[in-house]
Amino acid sequence: MRARVGIAAGCVAVALGAGCDWRDFDSIEAHTPVLAVSAPSNFAASGDFGRYVLPLSGPASDATGGTFVVSAASEAALALINVDGRGQVHGQNIDASALAPIVAGDVSFPVTTMAEVPGANQVLLGAPDADGTGAVYLLTLASTPTVAQFPSTPQAGQTRFGLGVAAGKLAGADAPELVVASSGDLTIFLDGDATKGVTAAADPACPLVVSGGLADEGQLPNRPILLAPRLMGLGQQLIVGTPATTGGNVSIWAVDPTTGVASCAFSYTQPDPGFGTALALGDFDGDGTPDLLIGSPPLHAFWVHGPISATSQVAPVMLSAGSGTALGASVAAANVDGLPGDEALVGDPAATLGGTTLAGEVHVVGGASLDTEQAILRRDSAASSDAFGAEVHALPFCTSGCGTSTAVSPGVPLIGSTTHAFLFFQPEPGSADPRTK
């Protein structure tokens, strides 16, 4: 049965540092199924909070709950949001002085891509439209966060450098690699060293060039890059989405564990121009093997049963018809019902609801073949141009053993919009709420 979940059923929009008395919220937050988190006081981009969100791996070992980063869509403005184990929200602006490396070029160029650097307490940031060619930065998370420009400039011919970013162990020594995509290629920086960049050679079997209008400034704010276990042997692979007007592509690149050289393994294509706009890994059929979820706006999402290979079938996710032009613009995997197997979250940020245009919604699809739509998540009161579902993620929300290998961290749906970031603690009626009461 389809359930529509919204903030009317006890949800409170939490305005951080805006004159609220936290005593009024202490008991409410621990019971409301949805939290709509607004910007901390004095956030630089007024009315622009939640379009880009990045969940972090977890809180400190002496804390419970979850943490995420928010970036504005209109200018360089960042905030760090912590939701404690009771569901109380604490926000921190990244100070303007810390953002100086970004703002020095032009404050109107926002950070639109973000990736956590494992084990480094850092976040890799991409601003693909900065300074005409794009730029990449490193945010160091501390009591006083700092931002530094990653000292690698785009090479000749590279445009929109930072259109995609990722980080993780791929090759080289012990430090994680940093991965940066432009609108036409992919570079791996061994050990996170800006002087050790290895750009993947062009291969027609794995096209990387975003074509047509999608390549224009601001038209495609980010492109997805995933690190995934290799099909055979040790090491990792990169999965890269390349939407294109002639038909989108998702390519899988094998990375040499010593040199960091990436070579095309295989790719999937579909006629949809938006195929590959969004990617996520999840175990949708509960067999213990990662499956691949692919967003393909304006109308579709697809999935590939793991272990993924060149002969794997690209199957459709069964979705009810969208009412906008962006169904599949965002995807994520989360276990929302507590049963074996993840559910697919598929955003439709341009959905029209009750005559309200660009209000947005998120479809929740389950079943071993992703053929059962279980819920549609929406704001209770649709807001025009809110683009609810512009991004969807699963926020690790630690309840015990935090910061250790035995941490229990169920994934809470984290949904971005133009004005808020939403946390759905109970996305379906009767689902378990991870917060402490």
- Domains of the chain by residue range: 3-424
Q: What pLDDT sits at residue 427? A: 87
Position with higher pLDDT, 166 vs 16: 166
Q: With b meaning 16 or more CB within 10 Å and e meaning fewer, what string describes 364-374?
A: bbbbeebeebb
pLDDT at 1 over 90: no
Sign (positive/negative) of CA torsion 205, 209, 214, 218?
A: positive
pLDDT at 66 over 90: yes
This prediction has a pTM of: 0.91
- Region 244-264: mean pLDDT is 93
* Between residues 403 and 194, the one the model is more confident about: 194
Q: Which of 102-116, 142-156, 350-364 has the weakest average pLDDT?
A: 102-116
Q: Quick one: 231 exposed, middle or buried, by C-beta within 10 A (0-12, 13-18, 19+)?
A: middle
pLDDT at 210 over 50: yes
User: Using 50, 70 and 90 to split pLDDT, how confident is the model at 323?
Assistant: confident
Mean of the per-residue pLDDT values for the chain?
A: 86
Q: Whose structure tokens read 């929200």? A: 89
According to the model, what pLDDT value does residue 185 have?
92
Average pLDDT rounded to a whole number, residues 310-339 = 91
Q: What is the mean pLDDT of residues 222-226?
A: 93
Instruction: Return the pLDDT at 19.
Output: 35
pLDDT digits (tens, 9 = 90+) for 412-425: 999 999 999 999 99
pLDDT, residue 105, reads 57
d(CA 34, CA 377): 10
The larger pLDDT score, comparing residue 58 to residue 70, is at 70
**Cβ 376 vs Cβ 363: under 8 Å:** yes
pLDDT at 359 over 50: yes
The pLDDT of residue 240: 97
Query: 2 versus 280: which is more confidently predicted?
Result: 280
Asked if residue 25 has pLDDT above 50, the reply is no
Give the CATH fold of the 3-424 domain: Methylamine Dehydrogenase; Chain H (2.130.10)
pLDDT higher than 70, residue 11: no
Contact 11, 380 (CB under 8 A): yes
The pLDDT of 218-223, averaged and rounded, is 81
* pLDDT for 361: 95
Confidence of residue 325 (pLDDT cuts 50, 70, 90): confident
Judged against a pLDDT cut of 90, whether residue 400 lies above it is answered with no
Q: How confident is the model at residue 232 (pLDDT cuts 50, 70, 90)?
A: low
Q: Which residues have a Cβ under 8 Å from the Cβ of 23 and sit 6 or more positions away? A: none
| pLDDT for the residue numbered 231 | 62
In percent, the amount of the chain with pLDDT more than 70 equals 89
- Which of 52-66, 100-114, 371-385, 419-433 shows the lowest mean pLDDT across its residues? 100-114
Dump pLDDT digits (tens) for 95-123: 777 887 777 655 568 999 999 999 999 99
The stretch 77-92 carries a mean pLDDT of 93
Q: What average pLDDT does range 48-60 have in this prediction?
A: 91
Q: Identify which has the larger pLDDT, 181 or 23.
A: 181
Confidence label for 30 from pLDDT (cuts 50, 70 and 90): very low
Cβ-contact 423, 7 below 8 angstroms: no
